Amino acid sequence: MSLHAIKLKVNGCPVEATVPGSMTLLRFLRDELRLTGVKDGCAEGDCGACTVILDAKATKSCLVLAAQADGSEVTTIEGLAGESDKALHPIQEAFLEAGAVQCGYCTPGMLLTAKALLDANPHPTRDEAKVAISGNLCRCTGYAKIVEAILLAAVKLDSSGRGNA
């Protein structure tokens, strides 16, 4: 077993840790950092519940070795609201207002996928929003209100002057 000293930023905070080579980023975030907002739906890359933002890209954390995240910046759901000065990020508000949250298990992954999308593409089309979440499975909503929420979030972020990058 190899151990690796890693330094990364998680939700804006510097983190130093020693991780086994075979540990995934998902297990590191959930078990070592106790960020249980990162969900484990399959741990095999098939469902997207574990999605985080890794160096600005929506990424399935179960498919990254923790050691590979050395030097990277990770945002989990716990860090989403932290970027703005209100209690909820506009994307979180949009999901609630659009009725896009049912059981909520896919929600953290969906929110972070949406954030990464809107950061790179502030005015996505409906189709672009659908493609962005095509690796995030949802069994409750039929995706309809999640797509509406993403489009609503784009409007909210526009009108709020895009205070966050």
Partner 1 sequence: MRDFELLVAQSRSRLLGHLAEHPEGKIVAGATDFIPLVDAGKLRPKIAIDISKVHELEGIEELAGVLRLGPLTTHARAAESSLVREQATALAEASASVADPSIRGRATLGGNICTSSPAGDSLPAFLALGAELTLASATGLRRLPIKDFLVGPGKNDLRQGEFLERIDVPLSASAGSAFYKLGRRKAMAISVVNAAAWMRIEEGHIVDIRIAMGSVAPTPVRCYRAEESIRGATIIDLKRKAADGEWLSVLRKDISPIDDVRAGGAYRRQVAVSLAERAVLRALERAEAGI
Partner 2 sequence: MKSPSETGERLIGGRAIRVDGADKVTGKAQYPADLYREGMLFARVLRSPHPHARIKAFDFSKAKSVPGVVGVFCGDNIPSPGLYGLNFADQSPLARTGGKVRYVGDAVAAVAAESPEAAEEALGLISVEYELLPVLQDIHSALAPGAPLVHENRPGNIFHSARLRHGDIEAGFAAAKVIVEGTYRTPLVDHAVLQPEAGLAYMGDDGRVNLWVATQWADEDRRQIAEALAIPKEMIHEVVTTIGGAFGRREDISVQIVLCFLAIKTGRPVKLVFSRTESMLACTKRHPFEMHYRVGADKDGMLTAMQIELLADAGAYASTSLVVLNTAVTLATGAYEVPNVTVEAKAVHTNAPVTAAFRGFGSNQPNFAVEMMMSRLAEALGMDSAEIRLRNILKTGSVMHTGQKLEGGVGALQSLEAGIAAARELGLDWNRPRAEGRKRIGVGIACGCKNIGYSLGWDDHSDAIIEAWPDRAVVKIGVCDVGQGSNTIWAQITANELGLPLGSVTVARNDSDAVPDAGSSSASRQTFVSGNAVLAAARNAAEKLRSLGPEPEPGLLPAIGSYTYHAPTTYPLDPETGQSARPNYGYGFGCQIAEVEVDVDTGETRVLRIIAAHDVGRAINMANIEGQIEGGYLMSQGYSISEEYPLVDGKPRAASLAAYIVPTSLDAPEIVPVVVEEPDLYGPMGAKGIGEMTMLPTPGAIGAAIHAAVGVWLDELPMTPERILRAMGKL
Q: Which residues here bind partner 1, judged by CB under 8 A?
A: 1-2, 4, 20-24, 43-46, 48, 51, 57-60, 62-65, 67-68, 70, 113, 131-132, 134-137
Count of beta carbons in the 10 Å neighbourhood of residue 117: 21
Cβ closest to partner 2, residue 67 vs residue 100:
100
Parallel/antiparallel/unpaired status of strands 57-60 and 13-20: unpaired
Please report whether residue 141 would count as binding partner 2 according to CB under 8 A: yes
- Contact positions with partner 2 (CB under 8 A) in 72-131: 76-78, 80-81, 88, 92-93, 95-99, 101-108, 111, 130-131
Cβ closest to partner 1, residue 2 vs residue 159:
2
